[in-house]
Amino acid sequence: MSTRSKFLVKNNIFSKTSRKTSSKILRKAHSQTLFHLELHLLTSRVGLYPQPAQHINTMELAQLAMTAGPPNPDAPSDYTCLLRGPLEDFLLYSGQEQSQWLIDIAHDICDPSQKRGTLQVLDAARQEWIDVNPRDPLTASKYRYHVQAVISLSKISHRAGRSITSATDNAATMANHVEQRDGKCWVTGFDDPLTNSHMCPKRMGDHVLCIIYHDFVSTIPPPAPLTIYDDICVITLIPTLDHWFDTYELGLRLVGPGLYECHSFLPSGSPQGSQRTIFGSSPTPSSYPLLHGYRIHPPQPQHPRNPPPGLIRWHYLQCVLRKFAHSDYRGLQNIYFYERPMRMEGDSDDEGTDSDFEWPSANLGPWASDAGGSRAAKRCPEIGRGVDHCSEVVIFGPLDT
């Protein structure tokens, strides 16, 4: 064989090997994204937040902290990924709403008050963006929120600590109002033990709350003055559900007038062999009603002081972000609400309490050591052993019938 022939054969083998390697890389990259859903936004539309003041005690400071400036001109990518996750996970929450669910979430992330954008999906075959029909099922595709204006993305709440505020009677007053309004858990119907579950962390303060209210509840005028201790900012839950609600692992999705559906946002790495019921974690299988998909309404559906759906919607958005927010989103400048370190049971309490189970640690250890635990233990001796034990056996109240 001539030298030229050997070269051609060798070159042809190298080309085939190169094509095979490239094909494997493409198949691997494709398989990694094949069953995932992603939501993107043009980076040139992402306004960046300034450094907030350490103490936001005026509306002017709140407006400065909650209003984004110009985008990053040196951003490394044309698009910012907002959400990403397995399609099957998204389908757990979209349910019968189909694409309308993602349209709503995209609005709430990008433009909750004006909703100026359009949700589009990338047609991979034609490589063009197409407007999404609300009735279309969600697919493992790239979606984008198409908007012309530079926008202020919704900030992300860590909700990792307890509020630190000055001493006031507002907490006790709020607790009394909520007890008169609800009188029982929104989900289980139990009347004891109960916890006041805050939709917006108290550490946000009154002024930031007013901006959230304006963006998410623009159709209902706020009470004057609106404070973080207003009873419209609170629902009543049993302690186990309150812990999940507080950590954005339980959200309420409005599915009809005054009708909410419980959505359980299980964190990654959750223990196998158990499931979440409306009473707490329980071994599989369980005869108790599952928490995810369980439909509820306020104890007094027509009460004028029920939380407006918009505030519950803001809390639900935080649940979605906790589970699906992409690192692009989480890494944006000053995208998190300012938070103070966690304070545990036994530290000084300078604000009074609005609940027997207000401390973050109350749901993590034995209950019999606190005031609420003594009452709860009378109803369930297993409470002294901890939340997970009690959640397997506490079955009493309206659902016993």
For the record, the structure tokens of 228 come out as 């973080």
| Every domain of the chain and the residues it spans | 34-156+325-342, 170-203+232-324+362-400
Annotate 127-151 with DSSP letters as a single string.
Answer: TEEEEPPTTSPP-SSEEEEE-SS-B
Q: In what order do the strands lie in the sheet containing 128-131?
A: 79-86, 36-42, 142-146, 118-123, 128-131
Tell me which residue of 235, 322, 234, 239 sits closest to 280, measured CA to CA.
Answer: 239
Cα–Cα distance measured from residue 266 to residue 249, given in angstroms and rounded to the nearest whole number: 6
Q: Is the dihedral of CA 175, 176, 178, 179 positive or negative?
A: positive
Annotate 42-100 with DSSP letters as a single string.
Answer: EGGGBPPPPPPPSS--SHHHHHHHTS-----TT-S-SEEEEEEEEHHHHHHHHGGGTHH
Cα–Cα distance measured from residue 226 to residue 59, given in angstroms and rounded to the nearest whole number: 12
Q: In which element (H, E) is residue 22 found?
A: helix 3-34
Going through 112-270 in order, the beta strands assigned E by DSSP cover 118-123, 128-131, 142-146, 195-198, 234-237, 250-256, 259-264
Helix ranges (DSSP H) in 253-369: 309-324, 327-330
| 0.95 surpassed by pTM | no
With tokens 């974690």, the residue in question is: 281
Residue 248 and residue 157 in contact, taking contact as beta carbons nearer than 8 Å:
yes
Tell me which residue of 326, 323, 288 sits closest to 88, measured CA to CA.
Answer: 323
Q: How many contiguous H segments (helices) and E segments (strands) does the chain have?
A: 11, 12
Give, for all 401 residues of the chain, the pLDDT tens digit.
554 444 444 444 434 444 443 344 334 434 445 699 999 999 999 999 999 998 898 999 999 999 999 999 999 899 999 999 999 999 999 999 999 999 999 999 999 999 999 999 999 899 999 999 999 999 999 999 999 999 999 999 987 554 443 445 688 889 999 999 999 999 999 999 999 999 999 888 999 999 999 999 977 888 888 999 999 999 999 999 999 999 999 999 999 999 999 999 987 667 766 789 999 998 878 889 999 999 999 999 999 999 999 999 999 999 999 999 999 999 999 999 875 444 433 233 333 345 444 434 344 333 333 333 433 333 343 333 333 333 333 333 344 33
**How are beta strands 79-86 and 36-42 bridged, if at all?**
antiparallel
Cα–Cα distance measured from residue 232 to residue 49, given in angstroms and rounded to the nearest whole number: 28
